[in-house]
Amino acid sequence: MSSTSQPAYPIGQPSDNAGSSTQPQQSRQAAEEARKDRTLAEFMLMLDDYEPLIPNEVTDYYLQRVGFECEDVRLKRLLSLAAQKFVSDIAADAYQHARIRTNAQGGRTRTNQPFAGPNSNKDKTRTTLTMEDLSAALSEYGINSRKPEFYM
């Protein structure tokens, strides 16, 4: 009678049909979440000393316009950093479009600088970003930058 009251498997070890892989998987997920929390906390601490390229006043103005109220300076700096990254990505994409366009036209243009000094004989290359380049880069992000028809 005592053999029927005891479990078929030792205490602390799940049976085959109890899902033995869920315990280690949950602890692995918990460890990953704890690591992400530590990383985020360290990153937020680094934002205390970071001064973004977009001034805090500009960020405050646009956050106020959309109705976002927050007193945490680190969060505002994080939003400034995200906006800075977004603008930087668009500029880099526009530059790539300009280089592709310039190379498709047969090379770079030569700049004429009559009073440039001793290096004026060298060919200097310059890539000029146009509105078409910017429009192509913005369209990759789903932003339409065309002028309204009544301005054309």
Question: For residue 70, which of 2, 28, 79 has the smallest C-alpha distance?
Answer: 79
Q: Which residue has the higher pLDDT, 64 or 43?
A: 64
Question: Does residue 69 fall inside a structural domain?
Answer: yes
Question: Does residue 71 fall inside a structural domain?
Answer: yes
Give how many domains the chain has, as a whole number.
Answer: 1
Q: Which residue has the higher pLDDT, 106 or 89?
A: 89
Q: Global pTM?
A: 0.61
Q: How confident is the model at residue 59 (pLDDT cuts 50, 70, 90)?
A: very high
Domain that holds residue 48: 25-110+125-151
Question: Does residue 101 fall inside a structural domain?
Answer: yes
CATH code of the domain containing 46: 1.10.20
Q: Can you give the pLDDT at residue 119? A: 52
Question: Does residue 77 fall inside a structural domain?
Answer: yes
Whether residue 1 has pLDDT greater than 90: no
C-alpha dist (Å) from residue 139 to 89, 90, 144: 13, 10, 6
